[in-house]
């Protein structure tokens, strides 16, 4: 066989593999979305039930604000960017979820602080002293504006965003956390990550806002990059505000899935900035370093938490395999491959996707299991709960379908020309 | 063989089994106390390190106030009630721990609110909006008074106790928890349990205080008993203040080890009250019911959490086997047997103790592992951490040694005359 023929056959084989994954991912996305539309809509009060058992049956009717905002966002994105999801049920449910948030999310309007969890009919049950309920509220409102064009949604998004920025960069006192003399001024990586994704979200369809938040985006990227520590050998979840390692468990805490998620946030940032050096740095430090340390060599899958000194973490669930780090890893590696053309990243995408489809998928009832033990056995049979809703699985599948589609549309598959960032 | 001879042989065999367990338990207590005296003392600042790895090496120097108070209490109890622990090192370390608490536990003296965790040198890191730091502070101070006779310790204990009672029975606003319109007025069983154990602690060596808190003790017992729900078929961790089941996961939440601990608190209460009917009720509802539902038929050991409808709990660690429920079960069954003479309870003590000694004990470095997976494999190798210190294991071993000793001292072993409550 001539060398040219072999190369062509290899390319065709790769194309077939990409094509078959595109189909697998697309079909799975349909099944996952069907699970949530069938089981999660509260037709009486609006909003979504997320405490759903294996077969979709509701086991609690509490409404977690993170998950309300995320599902509104997800439905709008699917409606907006997938022809086959452009149907009224998705949009109407997203709008009903948005109205539920507008009416009930804030604990003491006109104050901006949102509850963490509400009763089915919208009374606040718990408030977290963090920014995340407000961030998912903002994401939801901006998407509703992008889909409907109604400016009241966009005003809500921008006003909340400005409050969040104030809390993070100027005065956190409104969050209600006491400042204690022994508490280190630790920055959890989640904060600049979350803000960076909001910067992207709000700038996506509004050039003026993109300009307004450009400096903030750079600040977020710098702050996230500060979490690369120990001569580039580790991403640490918490560092001091000036980028120093903190002492004790807090300082050594690692979350490989979170680092991988930060990785693809930064990949998109580097594409927006047109910065190939940053891209290479991010692929090495936020994709490969966390994967090398975080992938379980014995049973496969990503550990939930690790200690940078390889000591035993104190979190009981540290060795469990959670669904979302695998979703983030799939996105990160496929994006890394799309952006760089490095086939090693595509192989890692396949490795993670094979594990995830084999271990988390539920062929019987749809959606994915969320929580496996270290060995990969289902430890919790729930499909949704206080922290799992209609978000990580469909976001991953939708983004991967779009990226696979884009890869297959390239004139020469496997060629190294970086893609534009896909729409979702 | 005559019937009389057989009965006598059976009795001798039972005596031998009790005797061998007494020796096993006593030797284990020595090893466990040695672990803490060797590794946990902060000779510079006073107080105790509890973040200790398998071999006792410190992996974090934070000081958790619950665990500071518990270790002071434990050392004083051992010093006070065991001849072989009456040595200066134990008492001096307890006093140094007490001084550390007196100096640093309160976040804003003269306010009574205590921190949850302090830096090594005593600066507050986190505050919980509950009563538990203050409760363990009170236990520590009362024991220090019982050992040393210094009244300043007892004043501290009584003043803190009165503050706690005020928070629980009159006005919780000082704890800092917002009252939210959607939050159910749920009572966690931990609150009346904790108060009941403080009533016993403070009344033990002070008749006047015993009288002062007698009504409170009865109130606590009534409130704990309200957690028996569903026609007596389940102990629920959270009920409404008037004793109704709450909706959702919160209402269905069960913690078998906690129910067993409540069981032995109530057994002591029933002995103090001289109430054999209460004793029988408690043995059935707080010992046997939780054990029947909570013991894993496949792998042995007590589940950490359960759902009263047998749905999947949302806590990731629900199926793990934690050390302390097994300590509480050992105490509860041996006390139940001592009080009632029912040999089925002694068999359950043996069953739990065999499991615990086989699975949790570390013959190599001392102290027990705290966290096993469902199958019984060690999931976390730490010996101490934010919630595990010098408390449950030595309290259990010390109480079991004393109860076994008392059983062996009875004129006719196996006879049904209830024992007095042992000193510890």
Place of tokens 């009060």: A45
Cβ distance of B380 and A127 shorter than 8 Å:
no
B85-88 own/partner pairs: CB under 8 Å, 24+ apart:
B85/B33
Q: Is the pLDDT of residue B245 over 60?
A: yes
Residue B122: enclosing H or E segment and its boundaries? Answer: none
Q: What is the 3-state secondary structure (H, E, C) of chain A?
A: CCHHHHHHHHHHHHHHHHHHHHHHHHHHHHHHHHHHHHHCECCCCCCECCCECCCCCECCCCEEHHHHHHHHHHHHHHHHHCHHHCCHHHHHHHHHHHHHHHHHCECCCCCCCECCEECCCCCEEECCCCCHHHHHHHHHHHHHHHHHCCHHHHHHHHHHHHHHHHHHHCCHHHHCCCCCCCCCCEEECHHHHHHHHHHHHHHCCCHHHHHHCHHHHHHHHHHHHCCEECCCCEECCEEECCCCECCHHHHHEECHHHHHHHHHHHHHHHHHHCCHHHHHHHHHHHHHHHHHHHECCCCCCECCCEECCCCCCCCCCCCCEEHHHHHHHHHHHHHHHHHHCCHHHHHHHHHHHHHHHHHCECCCCCCECCEECCCCCEEECCCCCCCCCCCHHHHHHHHHHHHHHHHHHCCCCCCCCCCCCCCC
Selected for mutation to probe chain B from A316, A321, A322 (highest B CB count within 10 Å) is A316
B107, closest residue in chain A (CA to CA): A180
A315, closest residue in chain B (CA to CA): B380
Cβ distance of B312 and A53 shorter than 8 Å:
yes
Residues 6+ apart with CB under 8 A from A119: A61, A62, A63, A125, B182
Contacts of B180 in chain A (CB under 8 A): 107, 115, 123-127
Q: Which two tokens stand for residue A20?
A: 């078959």
Looking at residue A423, its pLDDT comes to 47
Cβ distance of B124 and A180 shorter than 8 Å:
yes
Looking at residue B1, its pLDDT comes to 66
pLDDT per residue over B31-48, tens digit each?
A: 999 999 999 999 999 999
For residues A286 and A148, give the distance between their C-alpha atoms in angstroms, rounded to a whole number: 36
Contacts of B381 in chain A (CB under 8 A): 312
Cβ distance of B53 and A311 shorter than 8 Å:
yes
Averaged over B63-70, what is the pLDDT? Answer: 98
Cβ distance of B386 and A313 shorter than 8 Å:
no
Cβ distance of B180 and A107 shorter than 8 Å:
yes
B386, closest residue in chain A (CA to CA): A314
CA B243 from centre of chain: 24
Cβ distance of A180 and B382 shorter than 8 Å:
no
For residues A259 and A269, give the distance between their C-alpha atoms in angstroms, rounded to a whole number: 15
CB B216 within 8 A of CB B165: yes
DSSP label at residue B251: H
Domain with CATH 1.50.10.10 in chain B: 23-39+184-405
**A306 - beta bridge partners?**
A254
Burial A206-243 (b: 16+ CB within 10 A, else e): beebbebbeebbebbbebbbbbbbeeeebbbbbbeeee
- List strands edge to edge, sheet with A321-322: A321-322, A371-372, A378-380
Q: Which two tokens stand for residue A365?
A: 């009832």
Cβ distance of A316 and B313 shorter than 8 Å:
no
How many A/B residue pairs have CB atoms within 8 Å?
111
Cβ distance of A182 and B371 shorter than 8 Å:
no
A386, closest residue in chain B (CA to CA): B314
* Beta carbons within 10 angstroms of residue A291's beta carbon: 21
Interfacial residues of B (vs A; Cβ cutoff 8 Å): 51, 53-54, 59-62, 107, 115, 118-119, 122-127, 178, 180-184, 247-249, 311-314, 316-320, 371, 373-374, 379-382, 385-386
CB B360 within 8 A of CB B381: no
Q: Is the pLDDT of residue B61 over 80?
A: yes
**Which of A62, A127, A386 has its CB closest to that of B180?**
A127
Cβ distance of B249 and A317 shorter than 8 Å:
no
Averaged over A270-289, what is the pLDDT? Answer: 98
Percent of chain B exceeding pLDDT 90 equals 93
Selected for mutation to probe chain B from A59, A115, A296 (highest B CB count within 10 Å) is A59
Averaged over A68-76, what is the pLDDT? Answer: 98
Distance from CA of A311 to the nearest CA of B (A): 8
For residues B139 and B151, give the distance between their C-alpha atoms in angstroms, rounded to a whole number: 14
Candidates B51, B129, B127; CA nearest to B367 is: B51
Distance from CA of B125 to the nearest CA of A (A): 4
DSSP label at residue B44: T
DSSP label at residue B241: T
Q: Taking every pair of C-alpha atoms in chain B, what is the biggest distance, in angstroms?
A: 74
**B238 - beta bridge partners?**
B188
pLDDT per residue over A368-406, tens digit each?
A: 999 999 999 999 999 999 999 999 999 999 999 999 999
pLDDT per residue over B372-408, tens digit each?
A: 999 999 999 999 999 999 999 999 999 999 999 999 9
Percent of chain B exceeding pLDDT 70 equals 97
Res. A108 pLDDT band, cuts 50 70 90: very high
Place of tokens 């006598």: B8
For residues B353 and B344, give the distance between their C-alpha atoms in angstroms, rounded to a whole number: 14
Looking at residue B5, its pLDDT comes to 87
Averaged over A194-208, what is the pLDDT? Answer: 97
* Beta carbons within 10 angstroms of residue B222's beta carbon: 11
Cβ distance of B61 and A248 shorter than 8 Å:
yes
Averaged over B218-242, what is the pLDDT? Answer: 97
Res. B412 pLDDT band, cuts 50 70 90: low
Q: Tell me the DSSP string of B293-322.
A: HHB-TTT-SB-S-EETTSPPPSSTTTT-EE
Cβ distance of A62 and B248 shorter than 8 Å:
yes
B186, closest residue in chain A (CA to CA): A125
B373, closest residue in chain A (CA to CA): A373
Distance from CA of B272 to the nearest CA of A (A): 38
Q: Any idea which architecture B23-39+184-405 has in CATH?
A: Alpha/alpha barrel (1.50)
Cβ distance of B59 and A386 shorter than 8 Å:
no
Residues 6+ apart with CB under 8 A from A24: A357
Q: Which two tokens stand for residue B298?
A: 């496949």
Cβ distance of A125 and B180 shorter than 8 Å:
yes
Q: Which two tokens stand for residue A380?
A: 């919790």
Averaged over B130-135, what is the pLDDT? Answer: 98
Contacts of A122 in chain B (CB under 8 A): 182
pTM of the model as a whole:
0.96
Looking at residue A421, its pLDDT comes to 47
For residues A202 and A181, give the distance between their C-alpha atoms in angstroms, rounded to a whole number: 36
Polymer length of chain B: 424
B53, closest residue in chain A (CA to CA): A312
Contacts of A380 in chain B (CB under 8 A): 312-314, 316, 318
**Which of A115, A313, A373 has its CB closest to that of B373?**
A373
ipTM surpassing 0.90: yes
A306, closest residue in chain B (CA to CA): B380
Q: Give me chain B's average pLDDT, please.
A: 96
CB B22 within 8 A of CB B422: no
Contacts of B182 in chain A (CB under 8 A): 115, 118-119, 122-125
Selected for mutation to probe chain A from B65, B312, B323 (highest A CB count within 10 Å) is B312
A314, closest residue in chain B (CA to CA): B385
Distance from CA of B253 to the nearest CA of A (A): 12
Contacts of B119 in chain A (CB under 8 A): 182
Q: Which two tokens stand for residue B146?
A: 């019982």
Q: Is the pLDDT of residue B416 over 80?
A: no
Candidates B246, A117, A203; CA nearest to B236 is: B246
CB A260 within 8 A of CB A328: yes
Interfacial residues of A (vs B; Cβ cutoff 8 Å): 51, 53-54, 59-62, 107, 115, 118-119, 122-127, 178, 180-184, 247-249, 311-314, 316-320, 371, 373-374, 379-382, 385-386
Averaged over A106-131, what is the pLDDT? Answer: 97
Looking at residue A2, its pLDDT comes to 81
Q: Is the pLDDT of residue B414 over 60?
A: no
């Amino acid at each position: 066989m001539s060398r040219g023929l072999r190369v062509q056959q290899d390319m065709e084989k790769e194309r077939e593999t990409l094509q078959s994954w595109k189909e697998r991912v697309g079909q799975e996305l349909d099944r996952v979305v069907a699970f949530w539309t069938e089981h999660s809509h509260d037709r009486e009060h609006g909003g979504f039930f997320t405490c759903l058992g294996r077969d979709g049956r509701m086991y609690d009717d509490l409404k977690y604000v993170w998950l309300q905002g995320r599902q509104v966002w997800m439905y709008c994105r699917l409606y907006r960017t997938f022809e086959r999801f452009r149907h009224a049920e998705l949009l109407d449910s997203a709008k009903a979820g948005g109205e539920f948030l507008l009416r009930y999310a804030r604990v003491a309007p006109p104050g901006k602080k949102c509850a963490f969890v509400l009763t089915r009919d919208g009374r606040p049950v718990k408030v977290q002293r963090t920014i995340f309920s407000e961030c998912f509220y903002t994401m939801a409102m901006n998407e509703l504006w992008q889909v409907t064009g109604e400016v009241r949604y966009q005003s809500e998004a921008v006003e909340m965003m400005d409050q969040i920025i104030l809390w993070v960069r100027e005065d956190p006192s409104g969050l209600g956390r006491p400042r204690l003399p022994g508490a280190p001024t630790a920055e959890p990586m989640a904060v600049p990550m979350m803000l960076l994704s909001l910067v992207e979200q709000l700038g996506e369809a509004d050039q003026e806002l993109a300009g307004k938040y450009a400096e903030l985006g750079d600040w977020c990227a710098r702050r996230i990059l500060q979490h690369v520590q120990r001569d580039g050998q580790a991403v640490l979840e918490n560092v001091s505000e000036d980028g120093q390692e903190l002492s004790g468990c807090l300082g050594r805490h690692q979350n490989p899935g979170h680092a991988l998620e930060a990785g693809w946030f930064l990949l998109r940032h580097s594409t927006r900035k047109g910065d190939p050096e940053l891209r290479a740095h991010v692929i090495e430090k936020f994709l490969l370093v966390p994967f090398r340390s975080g992938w379980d060599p014995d049973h496969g899958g990503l550990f939930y938490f690790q200690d940078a000194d390889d000591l035993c973490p104190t979190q009981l669930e540290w060795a469990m395999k959670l669904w979302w780090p695998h979703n983030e890893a799939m996105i990160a590696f496929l994006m890394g491959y799309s952006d760089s053309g490095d086939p090693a990243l595509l192989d890692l995408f396949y490795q993670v996707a094979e594990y995830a489809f084999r271990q988390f998928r539920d062929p019987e009832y749809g959606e994915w299991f969320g929580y496996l033990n270290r060995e990969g056995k289902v430890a919790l049979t729930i499909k949704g709960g206080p922290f799992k809703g209609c978000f990580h699985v469909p976001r991953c599948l939708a983004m991967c379908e779009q990226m696979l589609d884009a890869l297959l549309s390239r004139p020469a598959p496997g060629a190294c020309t970086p893609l534009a960032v896909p729409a979702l």
